[in-house]
Amino acid sequence: MKKVSALTVLLLSFLCLHVSAQDSIIGDINYGMLEKYIQAAKENYPKRKILKAQEDAIKTGIAVAEISYLDMFSASYFYRPGDKQAISNPGETSNPYIVNGIQYGISLNLGAFLQKPFLVKRAKADYKVAQLQTADYDYALVNEVKKRYYTYIQMLSELKIKTQTAQDNNGVAENQRRRFEKGEIPLDAYNGSRVQLSDSNSAKIQTEVNFLNAKDALEEIIGRKLTDIK
């Protein structure tokens, strides 16, 4: 029993050592890569691209509204034959014009003239709203990228711990098997090491799934594979 207790203490020491080495993920966070992920999300995430396209379209509306000032004016010309008298004799219709030659005219639409400043102002206000909507979404998008990145780093760290624990338990179980075959320990001690190994392997597999889910979630929001961003 003393040997079994010593082995148990040794196993716990190994586990504590590995947990102590991974008790924080702060040092694993790469803020340079995080900024690249955020920029990639702004460039690739579909909803953000839609908002940006809408903002650009509304911005174009300002130029259209400003140029449309010319719509207030209309130009026209009239051609009157010059080879006949300006005023025809009574009863004749060969040249029913008062003035001969080409006449030009410009007219102003007063209603359009009064509306244009307000239309331009509204276009600029719409653009400002679109900018604020994009900025508001960017704020939420940045927070979501950070959240998914931190979860990814957390799962990566947990996977390292679970993998090391499974390896340690595998070594202990193998050692217990040899000792059991030599008759140095009872069956219960050997079975206990096998159960512990099975539990650690199951925990490792579950952590692998969690890690892959976290990785997929991060790649989804940045629109690219993590390996493609250097």
pLDDT tens digits along 46-89: 999 999 999 999 988 888 777 766 666 666 666 666 555 555 55
39 φ/ψ angles, rounded to the nearest 5 degrees: -65, -40
Number of domains in the chain: 1
**What are the distances in angstroms from CA 212 to CA 25, 130, 177, 216?**
18, 36, 33, 6
Mean pLDDT of the chain: 81
Show the domain range for 182.
Answer: 2-66+115-228
- Sequence length of the chain is 230
Asked if residue 190 is part of any domain, the answer here is yes
Query: What is the token pair recorded at 172?
Result: 């202990």
CATH of the domain at 221: 1.20.1600.10
Q: What is the pLDDT of residues 87-109, one digit of tens each?
A: 555 555 555 555 666 666 666 66
- Cα atoms found within 13 Å of the Cα of residue 68, Cβ hemisphere only: 17
The predicted pLDDT at position 22 comes to 58
Tokens 């080879």 correspond to: 83
Classify residue 71: in a domain, yes or no: no
Residue 78 lies inside a defined structural domain of this protein? no
The 10 Å Cβ neighbour count of residue 35 is 12
